[in-house]
Structure 1
Amino acid sequence: MTVAGFTVPRQFSFTTRPYAAVDDATGTSLGLDTIDVRVRWLLDLIGAAQSELVSRLWQPATFDALTAGRDGQGRKLPVHGHVAAARLGWHPTYPTGVYVPSRVTRVVTSQAIGTLRTLAYRDNAISSLSARFDPATGRLTPPTAAGDYVPAGFARGVARQLTARARRNDGAATERLRITDVQEPPQTSMLAMLSAADRQLSQITVADGVMVLTVKLPTHEAPAGRAQWRRVRLIAVIPPHLHTRAITDWHLPTLVLDHRGLLLRCAATESVRAPDLTSGSTAVGVDWSPATLGAAAIVTERQDGLVSDYRGFTYDDRGLGIRLARLQAEGQHLHRKAARLMRLAATAPPEVRAELDEKIAVLDAHRAAVGVKRGKINRELAFHLGREVTDYAAVAGAAVIAIEDLTTLETRGHGRVNNNRAAQSARRKAVDALAHTAAGVGVTVVSVPARGTSALCPGCNDTLSRPGGYHRAWCARCKVGGNRDHVAAVNLARRALLGRSTAIHRRGRNPQIRNTEHAPVRQCRDKTSPTPSRPRHRRVRRSVPTATPQAGVNQRRIVPAPQASVWDTVKPATPHGVTGSREVPTSPASATSVADSMRFK
């Protein structure tokens, strides 16, 4: 429990890139291309060892040990992954003749145990769902115990896996299955989490906005001894928006290679004001909209009850949502095309299979490039939304920003394309960006239940009607309504104000309100919400001075003609012997042939 007026630590992440590298022993400058090659050698060693360890441990006994949380002697497993792996006797193997420091082995085992611990929950869920699965109907029977409950979306995904397995086995009934029976070992990511090691592998210093990371990198693709591991100092710049933060600790980063080179995924701990949900009387609700990323509205608590002007703020994504939809469709098309070529290559002759493999590699590279573009746009959308909503709340004097609980939010009923598009939106990244931005101005972000926010009236809690279509909402009893996203944002803000005394605080997470209470929200004529700034992009030619109209002279307004189409600009071929007289009728076939020839050339 936190006390108002005190500060609490809060962790966040950011990314940066080194701009210089120096050999720690000799002090000579190193090129960034050389650093990228040496980091790739390190990631190849870590990735190969991690994949081999996960594949070797892909058996039910591994998940039984992780679920029990006990080692062979009955002692509780430590939290750190490399210590738990040492207790259980799980050690990676490397190629013969390759020397790898023990601290790099810590990184390998820590990442592998983290992946297996995450999949232990899925193993228990698959074991429970397989016992309730009927292969004849492809349905799951209702759970009988409280421990058998899993989210509906997760249950549908497992049901699809079990249906595919039953189809491969000709519908034969199966016993209780494990995750090792349903899916293959997961693919490991090419990264190095330096936080799992100590100062013998890497250390970090930050001063005057510059971060210096000292890390031990191999000098050979297959290092044969300790002499082929040398320390390198990587110098990077801290982003300017972090210079004003009250940062108390800088953590070791994670090394990642992308298309631009080495990327440092860093983490830091800052000191922020303890969340006090009872200090303010105004709350901002943010609804995740299928049309745009988010919409916001304000509710204020007064002596006579809750009031709102029902004038919401809709986030303007500046056309980035359309780009995301286009890139998503392009990525899905590339995935389907690569999958079809893989099916053809499975039964093709060797010479044809080689050609198909080359095409599949090209498609995979294009799909990876599309994913990189989508990640950049999602990050830009998330932080832009966080800044817009934070400014909106700061101007209104709100102390709380209420968002929908993503664990209970599921996109359904909007069609296959829209459901997939909304499910792949950057909501989780937007929540993190909003919490990070709001913490800088002392505003607390809380999560509230999402069920019924778009369907219930904030005044009488009855079901809303849709007289103007899906995007409109109206309550005939309370005579309130408008945009359904704005109405949902009012409901979210109302739930945050009514349930703030029962909020659950967990370390590393935003406060959560699980119980919903109702109190009528009265529509007031006073404008309680600020007017967000709307930049207008108008193209004006300032090089040519505007002509001053003469006094007393009526200026005639000249309206330009509409732009002609291709059929108006194509001149038909003149018949032989005709000199262009208007009395000669033109042949529509000639115009069509000319237009077709221009279109397909």
Structure 2
Amino acid sequence: MAGLMATATCTAFGGVLEGSGERVGRALLFERVGFLAELSRDLTGALVACRWDEASLDVLAAGVDERGEVLPSKGWMALRRLNWPQDVTSRAGVYVSDRVRRGAEEYAARTLRLALHRRTIVTAVLATWPADPRRRSEAEWTALRGLLPAGVSGAEIRNRTRQIRAYQAEHGKLPAGLCVLEGPPQVAPQVLLAAMDRQQVTLQRVDETTARLRVKLPLNAVPASGRDWAWHVIDIRLPGTVTVDAVLHTPTLRPTPQGRIAVGLPHSRPAPPVKASGHTVALGFDWGVNTLLTGVLGRLTGKGPTRRVLTDGRPLVFDATTVSAALHRLRGVREHLAAKRDHYRALADGLGSPHLAWGGEYLDRARVLEVEHGRVCARIRHLNHALAWAAARWAVDQAVALGASVLYLEDLATLEARGHRRGNARLSGQVRGMVAEAIGHLGARAGIAVV
């Protein structure tokens, strides 16, 4: 049986101080996780900014150290092999353990390694910069494709070309590379506990619906010594997607703007093997705007040269019109709130010293609108997630009911809406990536191949 990995988002609402048994409420626990997340972000951001140059990315892309030995796959170990963390220290008077540094270094390594893909595209585009960036000739496309790795879509190439054109228009010359074209990537306040050992974090499953996380958290924003850190025992409620036979892995902690602690909990479970060939019954799905998924069943019949695929032509339709309309309305509300918020901020910035009272009132209104904007964004994310998994569950159930062993999804890697702003919003607002990922996950659990 093959293993199937997934990540569930859980919420921690409170904990207990180990040893004393003191109850730690949700607000206090959120504050202390926030302390750790900010300490980690400071270290990660400083390390990424320190190594955001072409020479450092060259070393990371080569994948070997000064002695010619291959770098470890774990990011924090690779950075320590290169002695990069020595260039970054924590704030003066702040005590941070080696385990916390590991998590920050792992996050920095992942961020820098992700940048290597963008750098490869930018380097290839610059090396084959066309005479007319708006329209490449066939020879220019051939030269560019020869330098790019396999799988790079046309949309990625066009996006990087537009980015370089904008830089050229502003500075009058082409950029030297990615590090000139972009500033250091921004890092989020989150804690990668997977890079730490048992002296900083432990995780065990209590029962079918609960997991217990032990993690050492700072008691204040500026811990001066090890006495300012304490073990917290946090019970996590597991969602129904984490089955009884799932193996839990060390999570990631992330404080959310809504005042909650999001726990990204990776888990794995055995999955039935999926055959790569020999399929005779298949479902094919096409993406749409009004109807999210439209499918048809195909059967492979005959033998030898007479083999062909037959279908009854009856469409299978997942109609998401109602939810799509709600999402479109919420996107309009979100844009309206953002415009009002920015307007009040601009008014406050434009008022001079004689009008400070009015400026403060405008900033208060902007803060209220910012909170409401965050709530609308959270509502959109929730609807997108629910829609994606509902569509995926429907598609896989259709395949199981019809006896299909393989499911085909239309590849829209190069999809770009053009010309109409409303069409752009409807296409970009769809959740096709989430649907495809969910179908792949649920299909693997059901033993159905997904192409």
Amino acid at match of 2:422: V
1:53·1:93 contact (CA, 8 Å) conserved in 2?
no
What SS is found at the alignment partner of 2:69?
A: coil
CA-to-partner distance for each residue in 1:56-105, whole Å, 9 max, x for gaps? 22222221111222223332221111111112222232111110111110
Q: Is residue 85 of structure 2 the alignment partner of residue 87 of structure 1?
A: no
The verdict on how the C-alpha distance between 1:173 and 1:438 changes in structure 2, with shifts beyond 3 A counting, is: closer
Letter of the aligned partner of 1:431 in structure 2?
A
**2:251 aligned counterpart, secondary structure:** strand
CA separation in 2, counterparts of 1:374 and 1:39?
26
Q: Tell me the SS of whatever aligns to 2:7.
A: strand
2:3 match:
9
Match of 2:423 in 1: 418
CA shift for structure 1 position 308: 0.9
1:428-443 paired onto structure 2 within 5 Å: 428-443=433-448
SS of structure 2 residue aligned to 1:185: coil
Q: Which residue of 2 aligns with 1:552?
A: none
The question of whether the paired residues in 1 share the 8 Å contact of 2:27 and 2:259 is answered with no
Correspondence for 2:248: 250
Match of 2:104 in 1: 108
Correspondences of 1:257-276 after superposition (within 5 Å)? 257-258=255-256, 259-276=258-275
What do you get for the CA RMSD once the two structures are aligned?
2.7
Q: 3, 27, 38: which one pairs with 2:32?
A: 38
CA distance in 2, matches of 1:433, 1:40: 30
Q: Distance in 1 between matches of 2:148 and 2:344?
A: 40
Give yes or no for the alignment of 1:381 onto 2:387: yes
Residue type at the aligned position of 1:330: V
Distance 1:243 1:148, change over 3 A: closer
**Which residue identity lines up with residue 166 of structure 2 in the other structure?**
A
Amino acid at match of 2:266: A
Aligned to 1:402: 408
> Does the C-alpha gap of structure 1 residues 279 and 138 become closer, same or farther in structure 2, counting only changes over 3 Å?
closer
Moved more, 384-393 or 433-442: 433-442
How far is 1:369 from its partner?
2.9
Deviations 1:539-598 (CA, angstroms, capped at 9, x unpaired):
xxxxxxxxxxxxxxxxxxxxxxxxxxxxxxxxxxxxxxxxxxxxxxxxxxxxxxxxxxxx
Mean alpha-carbon deviation: is it higher for 127-136 or for 82-91?
A: 127-136
CA contact (8 A) 1:139 1:159 kept: no
Measured after TM superposition, the shift of residue 422 of structure 1 is: 1.3
SS in 2 for 1:96: coil
Secondary structure at the residue paired with 1:284? strand
Change (3 A) 1:12 1:411: same
Q: Give the alignment of 1:326-341 within 5 angstroms.
A: 326-335=329-338
Q: Tell me if structure 2 keeps the 8 A contact 1:275–1:444.
A: yes
Partner-residue secondary structure (3-state), 1:9: strand
Question: Aligned letter for 2:83?
Answer: G
Partner Cα separation in structure 2 for residue 106 and residue 53 of structure 1: 12
1:75 aligns with 2:69: yes
1:369-406 superposed Cα distances (whole Å, 9 cap, x missing partner): 33222111111001111111122111111111111235
Q: Secondary structure at the match of 2:121?
A: helix
- Tell me if structure 2 keeps the 8 A contact 1:285–1:296: yes
Partner of 1:502: none
Give the CA deviation at 1:359.
6.0
8 A contact 1:296–1:312 mirrored in 2: yes
Structure 1 residues 148 and 434, CA, compared in 2 at 3 Å: closer, same or farther?
A: closer
Task: Give the TM-score, by structure 2 length.
Answer: 0.87
Indicate how the Cα distance of structure 1 residues 135 and 364 shifts in structure 2: closer, same or farther if over 3 A, else same: farther
Q: 1:131 to 1:332 in 2, by over 3 A?
A: farther
Q: 1:386 to 1:350 in 2, by over 3 A?
A: farther
Q: How far 1:237 sits from its partner (Å)?
A: 2.3
Q: Within 1, Cα distance between the matches of 2:121 and 2:354?
A: 44
Equivalence for 1:157:
159
Deviation at 1:117, TM superposition (A): 0.9
Residue 265 of structure 1: CA displacement? 1.1
Deviations 1:431-459 (A, max 9, x none): 222222233332222x2xxxxxxxxxxxx
Which has the higher mean CA deviation after the structures are superposed, 292-301 or 432-441? 432-441
Distance 1:60 1:143 in 2: 26
Cα drift, residue 315 of structure 1:
0.7
Aligned length: 434
SS in 2 for 1:142: helix
Percent of pairs with identical residues: 25
Choose the corresponding residue for 1:316, options 300, 319, 324.
Answer: 319
Q: How far apart, in 1, do the equivalents of 2:326 and 2:434 lie? A: 18
- What is the CA-CA distance between 1:329 and the residue it aligns to? 3.2
Partner AA of 1:307 in structure 2: L
Residue type of the partner of 2:110?
G
Amino acid aligned to 1:310: G
Structure 1 residues 194 and 361: alpha-carbon distance in aligned structure 2, compared to 1, 3 A threshold: same
Give 1:243's aligned amino acid. Answer: T
Determine the structure 2 residue equivalent to 1:177.
176
What are the Cα deviations for residues 20-74 of structure 1, in whole angstroms up to 9, with x where unaligned?
A: 5222222333222221111111111111222222222222222111122222333
Q: Which protein has greater RCO, CA pairs closer than 8 Å, 6+ apart?
A: 2
Tell me the SS of whatever aligns to 2:28.
Answer: helix
**Partners of 1:332 and 1:270 in 2: CA distance:** 41
**1: CA distance between counterparts of 2:341 and 2:115?**
28
Deviation readout 1:477-516 (Å, 9 max, x if unpaired) = xxxxxxxxxxxxxxxxxxxxxxxxxxxxxxxxxxxxxxxx
TM-score for the superposition, normalised by structure 1: 0.67
Aligned residue identity for 1:426: V
Distance 1:275 1:147, change over 3 A: same
**In 2: Cα distance, 1:377 partner to 1:432 partner:** 16
* Superposition deviation, residue 349 in structure 1: 4.5
Q: What letter matches 1:123 in structure 2?
A: R
CA displacement 1:143-192 (0-9 Å, x = unmatched): 515124742212222222222222223xx343x62112112222211211
Matched letter for residue 119 of structure 2: D
Q: Name the SS of the counterpart of 1:63 in structure 2.
A: helix
